[in-house]
Amino acid sequence: MNALTIDNLTVRIPLADRSVVHAASEVHLAIPAGTVTALVGESGCGKSILASAIMNMLPVESSVSGSVVVQTRDRVVDVFADSSFRGRDVALIPQSASSYLTPVRTARSQLEETIRVLRSHHECDELARLVGLDPRDLDCYPHELSGGMAQRVAIAGALVGDPAVIVADEPTANLDGDLTDRILGLLRRSADDGAAVLLITHDLSSLMRTAVADRVAVMYASRIMETGPAHSVLDDPLHDYTRDLLNALPSRGLNPMPGTAPQLTDLPDECVYHLRRPESTQSGGATELVTVGNRSYRTRVVA
């Protein structure tokens, strides 16, 4: 059963200067219950916007087509039509955790409120220990917490309702190696307990080290370029972009990516990877996501 299904999602956000952000373009992504999918891609490609779309938290002026559907054990939720899903059915670990916490209340009082509202059986101190915090840290106000501590409070908050879907947006960005492994281990455990986890991350090295993800989805300039089992995508990529991204890793030769990642304002309505890598025969003109077995990759439509 797919706990999260994103079907043909396109999001455009008009800006005051009349330009338009191509935030998501024809995105298809399905995450089965009990699995972790890592969403990777360079800064600014639209990963966090996708997280906002799943939470139905896009800017009000956005134009949206396609659907995001969450299937739990007992109900099916169209997230654009019903916002009662947050917390218990779907939880977000936001990228900027410290701004997500209310500044005037301690971490403990915020976590206690979430536990009360969701009628959760979890306890604050137990959640603190799970995320590697000293329970006494919860008595701090957000400004007294480091970025990494605030992030772990947000992770604890996301676990309160044992949600069917967890969207974790760079949950380990402020954490050192040991804490990164602990948090990725926690997300893995949530998946093993039945959740569908979307793990948004820059950190391909941690993905390789921990093998936390079952599947990897690669995004470039608002589009999905490739999806597949993690080991296949990471060891034997099918898209030129994935190959470039992997070859830039220190462990794979530190070959710099050509050019720079594009801005999403006023992109043409097509894949633009050929502008970055002109010799790629997979981009330029109309493209489609081709599925072969349990993998898919974007390539040019042959006329």
Ligand X SMILES: Nc1ncnc2c1ncn2[C@@H]1O[C@H](COP(=O)(O)OP(=O)(O)OP(=O)(O)O)[C@@H](O)[C@H]1O
Binding residues (CB under 5 A) for Ni ion: these are: 47-48, 95
182 makes contact, choosing from ligand X, Ni ion, none, with CB < 5 to 8 Å by partner type, with none
Tell me if 95 contacts ligand X by CB under 6 A.
yes
DSSP letter at 144 equals: G
Under the binding rule (CB under 6 A), the answer on residue 31 touching ligand X is no
- Select 107 or 200, whichever has its Cβ closest to Ni ion: 200
Q: What is the sign, positive or negative, of the torsion defined by CA atoms of 193, 147, 167, 40? A: negative
DSSP string, 172-236: TTT--HHHHHHHHHHHHHHHHTT-EEEEE-S-HHHHHHH---SEEEEEETTEEEEEEEHHHHHHS
Nearer to ligand X, 52 or 280 (CB): 52
According to CB under 6 A, which one of 6, 47, 94, 217 is a site residue for ligand X? 47
From candidates 3, 6, 21, 118, binder to ligand X by CB under 6 A: 21
The reply on whether position 43 binds ligand X by CB under 6 A is yes
Question: CB-based contacts of 78: which residues, under 8 Å, 6+ apart?
Answer: 67, 68, 69
Type of residue found at 238? L
Q: Which of 159, 264, 267, 271 binds ligand X (CB under 6 A)?
A: 264
Number of shown-chain residues binding ligand X (CB under 6 A): 15
Range in contact with ligand X (rule: CB under 6 A) among 40-48, 66-74, 160-168, 183-191? 40-48
Check if the beta carbon of residue 141 is closer than 8 Å to that of residue 163: no
* Closest approach of ligand X to the CB of residue 153, in Å: 20
Six token digits for residue 66: 């396609």
Query: Using the rule CB under 6 A, which residue among 46, 94, 171, 237 binds ligand X?
Result: 46
Residues numbered 209-248 forming contacts with ligand X, rule: CB under 6 A: none
> Which tokens belong to 18?
């009349």
Cβ distance 87 to 117 under 8 Å? yes
Smallest distance, Å, CB 265 to ligand X? 7
* Residue 48 binding ligand X, by CB under 6 A: yes
| 260 lies in the binding site for ligand X (CB under 6 A) | no
d(CA 79, CA 72): 12
Quick count: other Cβ atoms within 10 Å of Cβ 82? 13
In the complex, the residues that contact ligand X under the rule CB under 6 A are 13, 21, 23, 43-49, 59, 95, 202, 263-264
